[in-house]
Amino acid sequence: MAKNSFNPFLLTGYESPEFFCDRKEETQELLESLRNGRNVTLTSPRRMGKTGLILHTFRILKEKNPGVATIYMDLFPTESLQDFIRMFASEVLGSIDSNPMKVLKQAVSVIRGIRPNITIDGITGKTKIGIDIVQGQEEHTLAQIFDYLKQTSKECCIAFDEFQQIARYPEKNVEAVLRTYIQNIHNVHFIFSGSQSHLLTEMFLSPKRPFYQSTSNKNIGPIDRGNYYTFAASFFSKQG
């Protein structure tokens, strides 16, 4: 059961398939797209469970193919290209290999615009890789991160949640820069998700924008009420 035995309904985050309701069709569509090398734009209003859907899809993907690296990034708190690159580098280096020293050694030789550091989480005991970006080297560093991903030859699936945030960065041409690198890397597949559908629609369906028609598009709405009733009732039954 859930960690809180009195309330089996998760209020935040994703835990496991047991606590994930329905979305079978959507999960299958995402899996098929990623397996076939198609990038996806996923939109939904807030609180519809798109983050849970992504993490659920990644979990199933890894169960069937343990060698794949899955990376989820919430871009909502980022305010600049430097913020994006710092998060991107940290997530990539923390997901490609389980040996942090090996990762750092490889990364430093390839990505020269970063200053990595290793810390130990005092609560979980897990190794964390922190990243500082050399000022003025942002675009060059971004190119090197994509080169690093290419050189690993490891299959990766990366989700950029709240992707419309990049349109607010003060730097110019961020969309065009990212599009250039993304279209030239074939061992990495992407999910671009967000809750502001009008902004994402403009980014991916307007002929004037760099990401025009570069993905398949999927919108998710509410879960079927009958399916959710069955899901909810099963937990009430278990709890008596």
Residue that has been written with the tokens 């600049």 in this structure: 80
CB burial of residue 181 (10 Å; 0-12, 13-18, 19+) = middle
pLDDT at 88: 92
CB-CB contact of 150 with 187 (8 Å):
yes
How, if at all, do strands 156-161 and 69-74 pair?
parallel
- DSSP track, 172-197: TTHHHHHHHHHTT-SSEEEEEEES-H
- Least confidently predicted of 93-107, 157-171, 177-191: 93-107
pLDDT at 2: 45
Mean pLDDT of 141-151: 89
pLDDT tens across 54-81, in order? Answer: 999 999 999 999 999 999 999 999 999 9
Q: How is residue 213 written in tokens?
A: 């028609």
**Which residues, in sequence order, are CB contacts of 94 under 8 Å at separation 6+?**
100, 103, 128, 129
pLDDT tens across 92-121, in order? Answer: 877 776 665 666 666 666 566 666 666 666
**What are residue 190's DSSP bridge partners?**
158
Q: What is the pTM of this model?
A: 0.84
For residue 68, the one-letter residue type is: V
Into which CATH architecture does domain 22-96+137-239 fall?
3-Layer(aba) Sandwich (3.40)
